[in-house]
Structure 1
Amino acid sequence: MADRIKKFFQKKKVDAKFKMAGPGHKLSESTLSSQSSNVSKKDAPVKRSGLSEESKVAAEAALQRLQSKRENPSFNTSLAAIQAQVKKELENERANEAAAASASKAPPSEQPRRETVEDLPRNYAASGVYFKCPLISNDILPRDEWKKNIKTFLYEQLEEERGLTACLIIQSCNNNREKIDTCVETLCKYLENIITHPEDEKFQKIRMSNRAFTERVQPIEGSMELLIAAGFEQQRVTNADGVEEDYLVFQKENVPTVESLVNLIEALRTAEPIQLELDRNLQVLLPSQAANKVQLPPSFYALSPEEIKREQQLRAEAIERSQMLRTKAMREKDEIREMRKYKFAIIRVRFPDGILLQGTFSVYERYTEIHEFVRENLEHDLPFVLNTPTGHKLIPDEDANKTLIDLRIVPATILTFAWHSSVAEQIHNSPNKDVFLKPEVMVLVQEV
C-alpha cells in the first residue's frame, strides 16, 4: 500500500508537468503552423508580482558576482572582495571592543549613553520557518501555507482516486491524532462488518444521529468522502418509530468487488499524513550581519514570545531567591525545560575567514544533520570538526545521535569550523587553503 501511495504522487507530478508543456499538435503539421496555432490559443500571460527593491538589489549583485567570475575565471574577484570586507569588519570589531573596554573604565559622567532601539523584523536571524513537500511540488513555504496547499491538492484528486485520497485527507487535514485513530478504527469496523456479514441489512446502514458516528466519525475531515468511496449514500429512512432520519446506506452496485473494500481497509490502516521537510533556509553572512541579525521570529517558539518572557522573568526572580540552595542537577533540569520552549534553532558555523554559514534546524534533530549540512556546502569534501562556544569538540562518532537539546545549542549558537588534524597539513599547503564554501554558496553572501 505504501508503494501505491508513492505511485499516486508520482503520477500526479508527471501529470502536472505534462499539463504545463502546453497544447499538443499533430505530427503532420508544419512547425510554423503549429507555432501560429499555439500563439493563437495562448491565454493572457500570467501576471506575477514584481520583485521588491531589496530583492532587485540582491539579484543584481549576485549577477554581477557571477559575471565577474565568467570574465576572469583565474581570479575570483567576488571572493577577494568578500575576504577584504570580512577582514575590515573583523578589524572594526576588535577596535570597537577596545573602545568599549576603555569606555567602561571612564567615570559614569563620561560614559556614552545607550539609546534603546526598537527591534525591527530586518534584525531577525531568519524571516521565518519554511518547509518543502517533494511529493507535491518544489515550493518552499511556511507550514500554514503548506497545510492549505495540501488540502487543496487532495480535494482536487477526489474524483479520480476517491478512496485513497480520502484516507490521505483523514491523516493530513486533521490535527488530533487520538481522534484520527478512533475515526479510522470506527470506519474499518463499518467496512469489516459489511465484508463479514454481506447479507445482514443491520450492518449496511449507519444512522447519522448515532452518538458513535457523530462523535467519532463525522467531525473528522475526509470521513464522509471515505464512506462515499466505500459505496455508502445518504438517504432519508423511516425508522421503527415511523420517524424519518438521515442514514448512510451501503449500495452494493457502487462497489465493484468485495476486494475493493479490503483494499480500502488496508489503505485506512497504513496511510500516513503527508510529511513536510524542514527547509534549511541557508544564509551566508558577514560578521557585521551576523551581529545584527540576532532576533528569532515567533515561529521558532513552542510558546508565544510573551509567555516565554513572562516565564523567564518569574524564573529569574525565583533563582535570585534560592540561588544558594540550587544544585547543579536542578540547574540543568531548568536549562533543558527552558530549551523545550523552542521548536527550532538557528545554527551558525563560523569559518576561519570570518564568513558564517547559517541553517534552521528542529531542536530534536541530531548532530549528524548539522554535520551533513556543513559538509554538502564545503568546496573540499574533507574531514572537519565543529567546536561549541564552550570549547567542546563535536565528534561525529560520539555525538551523531545527540539532539540539539542534548548538545545545549538551542535556540541559537555559533559553532567554529576547523579542518580535522588528519588533513590540516594538506589544506595548509593547498593554494586554495582560504577557500571553504562552494562558489555557488558564496554567491549567497548578503549585501551589507
Structure 2
Amino acid sequence: MTDRIKKFFQKKKVDAKFKLAGPGHKLSESTLSSQSSNQSRKDAPIKRMGLSEESKVAAEAALSRLSQRRENPAFNTSLAAIQAQVKKELENEKANETASASKSSTTEERKEIEMDLPKNFAASGVYFKCPLISNDILPRDEWKRNIKTFLYEQLEQERGLTACLMIQSCNSNREKIDTCVETLCKYLENIITYPEEEKYQKIRMSNRAFRERVQPLEGAMELLQAAGFVQEKLTNAEGVEEEFLVFHADNVPSVESLTTLIDGLRTAEPIQLELDRNLQVLLPSQAANKVQLPPSFYALSPEEIKREQQLRAEAIERSQMLRTKAMREKDEIREMRKYKFAIIRVRFPDGILLQGTFSVYERYNEIHEFVQENLEHDLPFVLNTPTGHKLIIEEDANKTLIDLRLVPATVLTFAWHSSVAEQIHNSPNKDVYLKPEVMVLVQEIPTTPELLRKLTLSASSSDY
C-alpha cells in the first residue's frame, strides 16, 4: 500500500509537468507549418477590455497618492516599504468599509502596530514544504488547505486511496482519527466475514456511534462510497423512514477490494510537511535588531505565556532560597517546551550570521548539516555555544535542541576544526566561509570596500 501511495503522487507530478509542456503537434505536421502557426498566434493582437468606472477611480486615486509621495523627499521607496504601505492602505480601506465609525480608529491603530512588529522579528513566520505535492513554501495553515483541495480533486480517479489519505491528513484530532479508522474497518470486516448477513450491509445514519465516530471526519463518507455504500431511505423496525447507508456488491469490483481498503485505512499516513529553514544571512547590526520571535514559534498563545511567566516569577521570588539545581533545571526544560520552533544563528569570524529555523525536537545533526551545505569549503568545523561548550558531531549528533539548551534562540560561533586550521590559515581565501549564492542573500549590503572584497573572494574562490 505504501508503494501504491508513492506511485499515486509520482503520477500526479508527471501529469502536472505534462500539462505545462504546451500544445502538442501531429507527427505528420511539418516543422515549418507548426512554426508559422505559432508565429501567427503570437502576432495576433490581444484584445483588452477598457477600464470600468470603479477601476478608473481607483487608478486616479493611486496616481494622486503616488504624486504626493514623490514630492516628499523623506518617503522610503524601497520595495519592502512600498509593499507594507500598500498592504496597510488596503487593510485600512477594507476596515473603513465594514466597521462602524466608532471602531474604525481602534482598528487602524491595531493594524499599524501589527505592521510595525515584524520589523523586529527574527523571522517572518514558520514555513513548510510538501515535496509530494509541489515545491511551494507556505505556512502550515495554507498547506493544510492546499492538501485538502488537492485530495478532493483526486476523488474521481482514486476514491478509495484518496479517502484513506483524507481521513489521515484533513482531520486534526489523532484519537478521533484512530477511532474512525477502527470503526470503518469493522464495517468492512463484517461484510467480508458475513457476506450473507443483511444486517452488516446497512448502516443507520442516525446511529449514535456512526454520528460521533465516523460522519464528522473528512473523508469517511467518501471511503464508504468507495466501499460500495449508497445512501438510501429505508423503513425501520418501527415503520418509520430514515436514512441508511446500504452496501451494494455491484458497486465494487470484488470482495478483495474491501480488503485493500482495510489495508489502506490501517497503513495510510498523513501527508507530511517538511520544515523550511527560512535561510537568512544577516549583518551584525541586523541580527541585533531582529530579536523578537513571531507568535507561530510558541506552543501557547503569547498572552498565556506572559501570564504563566508572571506567576512563575512570583513563585520563584518566594522560594528562591529553597530551590535546588535539579529544580531549576526542571523549570528550565518546562519553559523551553512552550516553544515549537527555534531560531539558530551561526556567527562566522567575519561577523556574518547564518540563520535557520528548526523544530525544538530536531537533533544537533540537522544543524550541523544545515551549516555544512551552505559552506564554500567542505571541511571539518565545530560550533561553540554561548557558554563555551563545543558541539562535537560524534558526541552531540542525536541530542535535541532542548537537550542542548538551544531553545528558543541562540547564537553559535563557527570555527574550523583544529585538524584543518593550519591549512585554512595558509590559504589565500581564508576569509571566505559561505557559498557565493548564499552570500548574495545578505540583506541591505553596505557598499564598503571590505565587504565587497569578501564577496569578490567568495565568487572567485576554488575548493581546497
Aligned pair partner of 1:254 in 251, 255, 258: 251
Aligned pair partner of 1:243 in 240, 246, 271: 240
Aligned pair partner of 1:263 in 249, 260, 263: 260
RMSD: 2.1
Match of 1:207 in 2: 204
3-state secondary structure, aligned to 1:360: strand
Match of 1:278 in 2: 275
Aligned pair partner of 1:134 in 122, 125, 131: 131
Match of 2:11 in 1: 11
The one-letter code sitting in structure 1 at the alignment partner of 2:386 is P
For 1:138 and 1:287, the matched residues in 2 are separated by 31
1:182-193 paired onto structure 2 within 5 Å: 182-193=179-190
1:59-98 paired onto structure 2 within 5 Å: none
Match of 2:403 in 1: 406
The change in CA–CA distance for 1:57 and 1:285 in structure 2 (over 3 A counts) is farther
User: 26-35 or 252-261: which moved more?
Assistant: 26-35
For 1:250 and 1:146, the matched residues in 2 are separated by 35
Alignment deviations for residues 208-257 of structure 1 (CA, whole Å, 9 cap, x no partner): 11111111111111000000000000000011211111000001110011
Deviation at 1:356, TM superposition (A): 0.3
Match of 1:70 in 2: none
For 1:302 and 1:143, the matched residues in 2 are separated by 14
Q: Does 1:428 align with 2:425?
A: yes
Greater RCO (CA < 8 Å, at least 6 residues apart): 1
Aligned pair partner of 2:224 in 227, 247, 255: 227
Q: Output the TM-score relative to the length of structure 1.
A: 0.82
For 1:184 and 1:212, the matched residues in 2 are separated by 13
For 1:180 and 1:211, the matched residues in 2 are separated by 17
3-state secondary structure, aligned to 1:24: coil
Alignment deviations for residues 307-352 of structure 1 (CA, whole Å, 9 cap, x no partner): 1112212211221222111111111111111111000000000001
Deviation at 1:32, TM superposition (A): 4.6
Deviation at 1:431, TM superposition (A): 1.2
For 2:272 and 2:342, the matched residues in 1 are separated by 20
Match of 1:292 in 2: 289
Match of 2:79 in 1: 54
The change in CA–CA distance for 1:319 and 1:174 in structure 2 (over 3 A counts) is same
The change in CA–CA distance for 1:330 and 1:56 in structure 2 (over 3 A counts) is closer
Alignment deviations for residues 149-199 of structure 1 (CA, whole Å, 9 cap, x no partner): 000000000000000000000000001111100100110111111111111
For 1:31 and 1:15, the matched residues in 2 are separated by 26
For 2:27 and 2:200, the matched residues in 1 are separated by 56
Q: Does 1:24 align with 2:49?
A: no
The change in CA–CA distance for 1:371 and 1:44 in structure 2 (over 3 A counts) is farther
Aligned pair partner of 2:327 in 315, 324, 330: 330
Match of 1:391 in 2: 388
User: 191-200 or 162-171: which moved more?
Assistant: 191-200
The one-letter code sitting in structure 2 at the alignment partner of 1:54 is L
For 1:4 and 1:165, the matched residues in 2 are separated by 11
The one-letter code sitting in structure 2 at the alignment partner of 1:327 is T
Aligned pair partner of 1:340 in 331, 337, 340: 337
For 2:436 and 2:282, the matched residues in 1 are separated by 14
For 1:44 and 1:284, the matched residues in 2 are separated by 43
The change in CA–CA distance for 1:248 and 1:193 in structure 2 (over 3 A counts) is same
Match of 2:349 in 1: 352
Match of 2:376 in 1: 379
The one-letter code sitting in structure 1 at the alignment partner of 2:19 is K
Deviation at 1:27, TM superposition (A): 2.1
Deviation at 1:28, TM superposition (A): 2.1
Match of 1:103 in 2: none
Match of 2:109 in 1: none
3-state secondary structure, aligned to 2:257: helix
Q: Does 1:437 align with 2:462?
A: no
Deviation at 1:358, TM superposition (A): 0.2
For 1:430 and 1:406, the matched residues in 2 are separated by 37
Match of 2:194 in 1: 197
The change in CA–CA distance for 1:447 and 1:171 in structure 2 (over 3 A counts) is same
3-state secondary structure, aligned to 2:419: helix
User: 168-177 or 424-433: which moved more?
Assistant: 424-433
1:144-183 paired onto structure 2 within 5 Å: 144-183=141-180
The one-letter code sitting in structure 1 at the alignment partner of 2:10 is Q
Deviation at 1:43, TM superposition (A): 13
Q: Does 1:123 align with 2:120?
A: yes
* Identity value in percent: 86
The change in CA–CA distance for 1:378 and 1:209 in structure 2 (over 3 A counts) is same
For 1:389 and 1:138, the matched residues in 2 are separated by 36
Match of 2:416 in 1: 419
**Structure 2: stretches of 5+ with no match in the other structure:** 48-76, 84-114, 446-464
For 2:209 and 2:312, the matched residues in 1 are separated by 46
Match of 1:314 in 2: 311
3-state secondary structure, aligned to 2:203: strand
User: 344-353 or 309-318: which moved more?
Assistant: 309-318
Aligned length, in residue pairs: 383
Deviation at 1:120, TM superposition (A): 2.5
3-state secondary structure, aligned to 1:248: strand
3-state secondary structure, aligned to 2:420: helix
Match of 1:84 in 2: none
The change in CA–CA distance for 1:57 and 1:245 in structure 2 (over 3 A counts) is closer
Match of 1:368 in 2: 365
